[in-house]
Amino acid sequence: MLNTLKELCLLNGVSGDEDEVRRYITAKAVKHADHLHADSIGNLIVFKKGAKSTGNRLMLCAHMDEVGVIVTRITDEGFLKFDFVGGVDRSVAIGKPVVIGHNNVPGVIGLKAIHLTGKEERKKAPKTDSLYIDIGAKDKESAERLVEPGDYGAFVCQPEEFGDGLFKARAIDDRVGCAVMLKLLEEELPLDVTFAFTAQEEVGTRGAFGAAFSVTPEIALVLETTTAADLPGVENHRRVCAPGKGPVISYMDGATIYDRELFETLRRLAEENGIPWQTKEYIAGGNDARTIQRTKAGVRVAALSAATRYLHAPASVGSIADFENMLKLTRLFLTEMARRLDEGE
């Protein structure tokens, strides 16, 4: 699974421009799917039959998109003005390399020189309109030959393993969920499963609404990442969770109160099978579950996440063991759902 994750994290898929990621997943999934299609908003919906015929009762969900930038105009000097797509901390974007458009034009995010800033300016995160992207163009005309307003830009980060079992890459959020689902698609499943690879999660969980509305599942398990803050200077009660302590099983976040029985099921399965797990110790964030839960007459939702440092930054960090344990616990969850059907639950 780790090799798949590395490949996924090299693909550009800023919200609304997920084509490259969707093509990769389609090529992998089509070999194992009974049916798949891309809907009008860009979700990829994949159905695979299992040992138990259950139709669309169970849906697994992970989003394909990532945060990034979008070009808004080109200056007379050939620099690109832009806005962020999704929630990016402006202070961590300065000096970071990006690639723009489908031709992957290289650039770097810049800010005026520090010696030109006042003392008060230096104390604050820069405003987006004070930033620009330098693509090395000598003037506006040169830049216009390479890019145009509306082009997306993705951060550049080489995926790599480092330290004590950690993994660094951009877009771990949520390519790890996509990698888990691709691995499960290769396997014999205990029951029918619909896999929803969703679009535009980072700009308001927009794709998940269409996916859940068309699939209409009874239960949905969202495979995600969540913010870790296990860092120096952060008070213990604000650390949320930590890489390496196991998948995060959520009972609540900033957007969703999860189905309590499904939460208890995931916790029991983890404990019975020796899989480390943790909860979020600080209520914050949200994911596709918030939209899925509210679809039509309502959907029972659960979430399983990998604790990830520096979420929505040009480079994020997670634990390889957590990724593998997400896969193991999801397998156990599918088996449990099939068992309950056998017993008429």
Among the options 18, 66, 201, 224, which is catalytic?
201
193 beta partners:
48
What is the 3-state secondary structure of the chain?
Answer: CHHHHHHHHCCCCECCCCHHHHHHHHHHHCCCCCEEEECCCCCEEEEECCCECCCCCEEEEEECCECEEEEEEECCCCCEEEEEECCCCHHHCCCCEEEECCCCEEEEEECCCHHHCCHHHHCCCCCHHHCEEECCCCCHHHHHCCCCCCCEEEECCCCEEECCCEEEECCHHHHHHHHHHHHHHCCCCCECEEEEEECCHHHCCHHHHHHHHHHCCCEEEEEEEEECCCCCCCCHHHCCCCCCCCCEECCECCCCECCHHHHHHHHHHHHHCCCCCECCCCCCCCCCHHHHHCCCCCCEEEEEEEEEECCCCCCEEEEHHHHHHHHHHHHHHHHHHHHHHHCCC
Question: CA dist 228 to 96, 207, 284, 291, 329, Å?
Answer: 22, 25, 11, 23, 20
Q: Are β-strands 300-309 and 160-162 bridged in parallel, bridged antiparallel, or unpaired?
A: unpaired
Q: Could you confirm whether 324 is annotated as catalytic?
A: no
Those residues with Cβ within 8 angstroms of residue 84's Cβ, 6 or more apart along the chain or in another chain = 67, 68, 69, 70, 90, 93, 128
Tokens of residue 64, six digits: 């394909």
Active site residues: 201
